[in-house]
Amino acid sequence: MKVSIVIPVYNEAKTVAVLLEQVWEQPISFEREIIIVESNSNDGSRALVKKFAEEKNKLVPDAVKVILQEHPRGKGFAMREGFKHASGDIILIQDADLEYDVKDYPAVLAPIAEGKTALVLGSRHLSANGWKIRKFENAPVKSQFLNLGGRLFHFFFNTMFGTQLTDPTTMFKVFRRDCLEHFTLSANRFDFDWELLGKMILAGFIPLEVPISYQSRGFAEGKKVRIISDPFLWIRIILKTRFSPLK
């Protein structure tokens, strides 16, 4: 089997070089391709991505595909572009920061490879540490606010889709590429995560959650979620996804 690891990149110069090396070095028992969608960062991320691709493609021709966008239009837009170029049997979504541990790849890939499911979610809440959504050491009030918001949105999503998922907003969404044939996607920002999962469920794919490791980062470290405006997009996309046709 072949795995397409799709990585959207925008202003992640502090972490992207380390992350890409980790992805490259992480051993998995599948053929792989790395698809990087770079959204015209202004912090030097593009140069780091191009350097990585040039070096690795000398070692393994065509192992890394780079899509250079002219303008940043959000994670969802970047992910849709990456999906178009994916040729693997399995797609694995990877953010360009270091919040998620690439050592969890075998755990999230195995259930699909073994034919147990078509969709795996890496759950932070099932981890041994009982992860809280945000732990900002210098901003306890903001941490509690985001923790509460996360729980409310998880409850809202589970109610709308008849599920009992512990972590629907996890970045680690891993699925068979042919799942995408059953629906179309339109969300451009972080509402993409809700839309993708909601349409997967409506198309009949039952998510299997597995525990993963996680280390959260704060807004000062590059977190891009807009805590005022994005929640309205999330409510809109959850309702739109639930009550609109799949295509």
| Residue 219 pLDDT class (50, 70, 90 cuts) | low
Average confidence (pLDDT) over 146-163:
90
What pLDDT was estimated at residue 126?
87
C-alpha distances in Å from residue 40, one per residue of 6, 85, 93, 196: 17, 18, 20, 24
Is the pTM value of this prediction over 0.75?
yes
Give yes or no for residue 128 having a pLDDT over 90.
no
Provide the 10 A C-beta neighbour count for residue 69.
18
Average confidence (pLDDT) over 73-77:
94
Average confidence (pLDDT) over 150-170:
94
Q: Which two tokens stand for residue 2?
A: 């072949």
What pLDDT was estimated at residue 230?
81
What pLDDT was estimated at residue 100?
93
Task: Note the CATH architecture for domain 2-243.
Answer: Alpha-Beta Complex (3.90)
pLDDT digits (tens, 9 = 90+) for 85-125: 999 999 999 999 999 999 999 999 999 999 999 999 999 88
Average confidence (pLDDT) over 14-32:
96
What pLDDT was estimated at residue 142?
66
Calculate what percentage of the chain has a pLDDT beyond 90: 79
What pLDDT was estimated at residue 150?
81
Evaluate whether 191 touches 234 at the Cβ level (below 8 Å).
Answer: yes
What pLDDT was estimated at residue 226?
66
